[in-house]
Chains A and B, each alone.
Chain A
Amino acid sequence: MSARPDPGADAAGLGARAVRRGRTARLLAALGLSGRTLVIAVPMLWLLVFFLVPFFVLGRISLAEVMIARPPYSPLWDRAADGTLNIIASLDNYRFLLADALYRNAYLSSIGIAFTSTVFALLIGYPIAYYVARSPEPRRTILLLLVILPFWTSFLLRVYAWIGFLQREGLINSTLMMLGVIDTPLVLMQTTLAVQIGIVYTYLPFMILPLYANLVKLDDQLLEASADLGAGPVTTFLTVTLPLSVPGIIAGCMLVFIPAIGEYVIPALLGGPDTLMIGRVLWDEFFSSRDWPVAASVAIVMLFLVVAPIMWLQSWLDRRGLNQ
């Protein structure tokens, strides 16, 4: 890893800065390193080793076979008796994933659950974001902090709070029965609905904040112009506000949809045995079945599912940038 030599630094190095160069700088220069390269190298190396390389390890183990050994997978190569190296890699795990309906259904239902949760988070989050953005100061700051507060408290405890609401003897059932709306408790816990409520609830701040950042920049004069031209509030909203907030909508939806696909805690605590989500399948494959190669290939396929919307978003942003 090396940076291009910076002509500015070299030129300045001849002048005042050379005087200030200490012993360490001279030592680095002797090694062919500039301070600039070093500053680039520190975060770069950390992220290469602990963010990028793990994906290659993941990919390599997804090609191995499960074995009763420590670690429980086959080595990548094998030295035969005559000294030749044999590389052992097979796509068997991926064939297994494709053939088994469990995994296919888990991927599809994760996408489905993430999608409906994102839509509901948008429907609940948009009015909040719009209201906060249109509020005068200091109410706006206070409301914004109220949106952020749940985000700073524990995610796990916010999911836990819903158990008390949704369970058989929970608050929702006991309130509805007290009011005489229902006679027998509704089955709310351990359902797909509970998982969707949990996702909408915990990810709502991620939806509201980008929407707010977008809506707060909305020019009042546009709304006034629309009203002057005879448009009612609904027409103004649909033809002015909504189209202008599309970037905020897309950013918010991505921040909810992408992590929701791989969610583990929410289906584990609120979902039932029939709520299939791929994050949970991966967890069980790893911790219960101890099949590391299959868990690794589940993760690789999930990675592609996650990367695809990011790439789409990036190309959408690029196209928008070119059009404007």
Chain B
Amino acid sequence: MRRGWTLPILAALGFIFLYAPIVSLIVFSFNESRLVTVWAGFSTRWYVALFTDRQILGAAWVSLKIAFASATLATVLGTLAALVLARFGRFRGRLLLTGMATAPLVMPEVITGLSLLLLFISMELTFGWPAGRGLLTVIIAHTTFCLAFVAVIAGSRLRDMDESLEEAAQDLGAGPVRVFFDITLPVIAPALVAGWLLAFTLSLDDLVIASFVSGPGASTLPMVIFSKVRLGVSPDVNALATIIIVIVALSIATAGVILTRRARRGTRGG
């Protein structure tokens, strides 16, 4: 089929639009000057400034702790939700669970943040728990919205997988718990790793929900960056962005190599 030049050109322009801001972030993180437009020579001073900034380092540690805890909790709860929806047939409240497990995907963050904060305050007034707001409340909030992403990823893997494997194990006398841990879990494990990573990234990235439900002493990295960036461009934020982009690019390149190898093996085999 004859193909014109219109599509590749439009797609190339689209990719330039996607990558130009990222490239400029990286380039100006090595700029000697504080100004973003004037190139004053190569320098790594903003990286030094970044690694001596106690506020940023402290917030990064807080964010990593929150992201690790909420990604793990969200993976457990999201997998359970996906398993229940994909395998348990009909039960009372199925429609409700389907709705609650997908709605957080599109819910505007300001609504989630405000409603959870008001819930935490009402609970504290009524039961005395959670006492104040901090790490725990942010972890609960992040788990709730990340759970939906894990449930979608785990659910699609569960629907794709061959159910006869589970049936065979059942016929051989394995109980439902054993079937899950010996058969289902190993098969859907790659999807759960992807879900955990996505939840980890989403938690690390969230500004709005954390701003509502966090308390004194539990400022997350995005909260600190936001307060810096509001005052204008600051090159140490560029340095931080570059580090994040390099980590993500390396991980994605690794995933890419694995995927293309697997695809090649797949075509050879088929």
Q: Mark B233-270, 1 if CB is under 8 A from A, else 0.
A: 10001001100110011011101100110011001000
- A contacts, CB < 8 Å to B: 1-4, 6, 9, 12, 16-17, 20-21, 35-36, 39-40, 42-44, 46-48, 50-55, 57-58, 61, 71, 124-125, 127-128, 130-132, 134, 137-138, 141-142, 145-150, 152-158, 160-165, 167, 169-171, 174, 201, 204, 220, 223-224, 227, 233, 254-255, 258-259, 261-265, 268-269, 279, 282-283, 286, 292, 295-296, 299, 302-303, 306, 310
Assess whether B107 is in contact with A306, with CB atoms less than 8 Å apart: yes
Taking the nearest CB of chain A, how far is it from the CB of B171, in angstroms?
10
Assess whether A165 is in contact with B110, with CB atoms less than 8 Å apart: no
Q: Identify which of residues 90-113 in chain B touch chain A, using a CB-to-CB cut-off of 8 Å.
A: 90-93, 96-97, 100-101, 103-104, 106-112
Q: B37 near A: Cβ within 8 Å?
A: yes
Assess whether A138 is in contact with B260, with CB atoms less than 8 Å apart: yes
Assess whether A227 is in contact with B1, with CB atoms less than 8 Å apart: yes
Question: Chain A at the B interface: mostly helix, strand, loop or mixed?
Answer: helix
Assess whether B222 is in contact with A154, with CB atoms less than 8 Å apart: yes
Measured between beta carbons, the chain B residues less than 8 angstroms from A162 are 21
Assess whether A147 is in contact with B175, with CB atoms less than 8 Å apart: no
- With A54-B119, A127-B11, A156-B207 known as contacts, the answer to whether A164 contacts B24 (CB < 8 A) is yes
Measured between beta carbons, the chain B residues less than 8 angstroms from A165 are 20-21, 24
Taking the nearest CB of chain A, how far is it from the CB of B141, in angstroms?
8
Q: B88 near A: Cβ within 8 Å?
A: yes
Write the chain B residue with the least CB distance to A279: B110
Given contacts A149-B248, A156-B226, 18 further A-B contacts (CB under 8 A): A35-B177, A39-B88, A43-B81, A43-B97, A47-B147, A54-B112, A145-B256, A146-B18, A149-B252, A150-B18, A154-B205, A160-B237, A165-B24, A169-B36, A201-B18, A265-B208, A296-B114, A299-B110
Kindly state the separation between the CA atoms of A258 and B102 in the bound complex, as whole angstroms: 14
Assess whether A150 is in contact with B24, with CB atoms less than 8 Å apart: no
- With A44-B97, A58-B114, A137-B263 known as contacts, the answer to whether A254 contacts B177 (CB < 8 A) is no
Kindly state the separation between the CA atoms of A145 and B118 in the bound complex, as whole angstroms: 39
Assess whether A299 is in contact with B115, with CB atoms less than 8 Å apart: yes
Assess whether B241 is in contact with A3, with CB atoms less than 8 Å apart: no
Measured between beta carbons, the chain B residues less than 8 angstroms from A20 are 175, 178
